[in-house]
Amino acid sequence: MVKNRLLTVASLARCIDHTLLRPDADRGAIERLCEEAIRFQFAAVCVNPYWVPLARRLLTASAVRVCTVAGFPLGACPVDVKCYEVRRAISDGAAELDMVINIGVLKSGEDRVVHEEICKVVELCHSQQALCKVIIETAFLNDDEKIKVCRMTKEACADFVKTSTGFGPSGATTADVSLLRSAVGPTMGIKAAGGIRDLQCALGMLEAGATRIGSSAGVKIMAEATQTGLR
């Protein structure tokens, strides 16, 4: 878990997935996203699947990883479709996959189906040496459901549980990040995403237990971090 007092500008940057998932994002916007990621040395860029090959080419000489999404943003497609998306994305150059669970199936009480879906996607990612982040979309879940799906995610050996798509009714909250941390324990990754638009919010998520921040405001966060005296 990252504590604010231990952060530097460089270590903060390595906690950020520089994200652009808007449907109207064009080639120029993806190119700028990748250039910014290289400049600040973010952990990854997160782009829609179509743009993975371009991002991979632009980031080949850098340490910035390419992240993309599967079953996004609703999570409501069958697991074999999600697995196809994962295979295609990895083939195109993605090193990290953020997969949305089937929220409606979880709300229906079909826990076994959700658990099997998570296991299949995680296993596929790991067989190709890719990280898997499982998006649970906390805004649609009560606390018992959040804890339950976190435990499923941990049992499946996912690399991260992720709060939100950024397309739901609300995004990450520090309360949810704290709850997720208590559910998965001290070592599993937690990605906070959705509505994180400034340094104060980002630091709050890290203090609450997040290890990765998904944000389209990475450049703004880094500018604020520099201004506050982080080195």
pLDDT tens, position by position, 14-41: 999 999 999 999 999 999 999 999 999 9
Active site residue 146: no
pLDDT for residue 3 is more than 50: no
pLDDT for residue 201 is more than 60: yes
Question: 4-227 adopts what CATH topology?
Answer: TIM Barrel (3.20.20)
Options 98, 146, 159, 176, the catalytic residue: 98
Options 82, 133, 146, 191, the catalytic residue: 191
At 75, is the pLDDT very low, low, confident or very high (cuts 50, 70, 90)? Answer: very high
Q: Identify whether 23 is preceded by a cis peptide bond (ω within 30 of 0).
A: no
Beta-carbon-side half-sphere exposure of residue 47 (alpha carbons within 13 Å): 32
- Give the start-to-end residue ranges of the domains of the chain: 4-227
Q: Which long-range contacts (CB under 8 A, 24 or more apart) does 86-92 make?
A: 86/121, 86/124, 86/125, 86/130, 87/124, 87/128, 88/49, 89/49, 89/52, 90/125, 90/128, 90/130, 92/49, 92/52, 92/53, 92/56
Active site residue 98: yes
Options 133, 148, 162, 176, the catalytic residue: 162
How does pLDDT run across 134-144, given as a tens digit for each residue?
Answer: 999 999 999 99
- pTM score > 0.75 for this model? yes
At 7, is the pLDDT very low, low, confident or very high (cuts 50, 70, 90)? Answer: confident
Active site residue 162: yes
At 84, is the pLDDT very low, low, confident or very high (cuts 50, 70, 90)? Answer: very high
In the predicted model, what is the mean pLDDT of residues 60-86? Answer: 98
Q: What is the pLDDT of residue 6?
A: 67
